[in-house]
Amino acid sequence: MNKIGLYVHVPFCNGKCPYCDFYSTAASETLKQEYVQAILTELERADHTKQADTLYFGGGTPTLLYPEQLVQIVAQAKRFYQLEDSSEITLEANPNTVSLSQLTQLRKGGFNRISFGMQSAVPRELETLGRKHSPEQVKRAVKMAKQAGFENISVDLMLGVPYQTVSSIEQSFDFINQLNIQHVSAYLLKIEPGTRYFGAECLKFCPDEDQTADIYLKTVESLFNMGFEQYEISNFAKPGKQSRHNLKYWECGEYIGFGPAAHSFYQGIRYGHSRDIQSYLKLGIQEREFSQPGGDWEDYIMLGMRLKKGIDLVQAKEKYPVESSQLAKKIEPFQKAGFIVQEDSRIHFTPTGFLVSNSILATLI
């Protein structure tokens, strides 16, 4: 039986970054205590049919909870989902919200992977992004994580942000190279409705499409030269250090999300809680904003083609014989253009293909 992933959304933040579309809210001590109790209750009442082997805390800013609260949630997940020592347990953290004592407590409590929201190592870019940390604080946070016993450390890097150039991002690459970490998530800036960036004039300070493409391709090249293998459109890892939890999303594996705004894919159904902590506190596991079938051909293509390895044509034909029957003909022009490569029974995007993947996938589906 395949093991599932668990996701816990911690919706608390000290402030909202202008580009952020994730659900977050300010929190009092009372609200945090109520939230933790609701998560513990939801974990207890959820379906425990399957064992889990990954647990991921995202946000928001999970480290705004006390270490003992986070460890309490881990213990509850272990109790009901039989997480083992070899399971991957990840915590997202802002570099300016951690201390050595906190990280040590978290490591002893079961966390073995940490992802820092660095975003950039260029002070001007950090300021424009509304980040409250400095590059030096990132360096200090990574050092403390290593001292606490973390051997699987990731940082986020944003691409195409205001004032960024191919030259400026090289500062971030040099910085990452000095950190001696295992994983980098490099995301292209996407301005979403409802964020402060949406409708603002920041776009005129962002690199244009051609410049952003150059920045992305430079990222792929530079991280490869540092020993990071690209395994997904935005993710790069040292050998054996891919995010096992996130791979479940892209491979259509099952996962259960806990907390407000958390999504799940379980037993063929995709469902999610609403972006409202009060509704979640009242209804918990019974509160669902949507519920719909998942794992179909569209999911298989949209998610699988995000991976560097792409999809297996033999598997596609077995699982979706009707939908996949015209696939070879559809991909032919994109192969000729250098956007898609076929190797044995697999097809996948090239780095250049990833840049136009959305429009290509719309054609393939």
For the cut 80, the answer to whether the pLDDT of residue 200 exceeds it is no
For the domain 4-250, what is the CATH code? 3.20.20.70
Closest by Cα among 20, 208, 212 to 130? 20
What's 228's DSSP letter? P
Tens-place pLDDT, residues 119-147: 999 999 999 998 899 999 999 999 999 99
Give the model's pLDDT for residue 127.
92
For residue 169, the model assigns a pLDDT of 96
What is the reported pTM?
A: 0.95
Query: Domain boundaries in the chain?
Result: 4-250, 304-364
Residue 332, pLDDT score: 94
Q: Where are the alpha helices (DSSP H) in the chain?
A: 29-45, 67-81, 100-108, 123-128, 135-148, 166-179, 209-225, 244-250, 277-283, 297-304, 313-319, 321-324, 327-336, 351-355, 357-364
Give 199 or 172, the one with higher predicted confidence.
172
Which range has the worst mean pLDDT, 8-17, 281-290, 324-333? 281-290
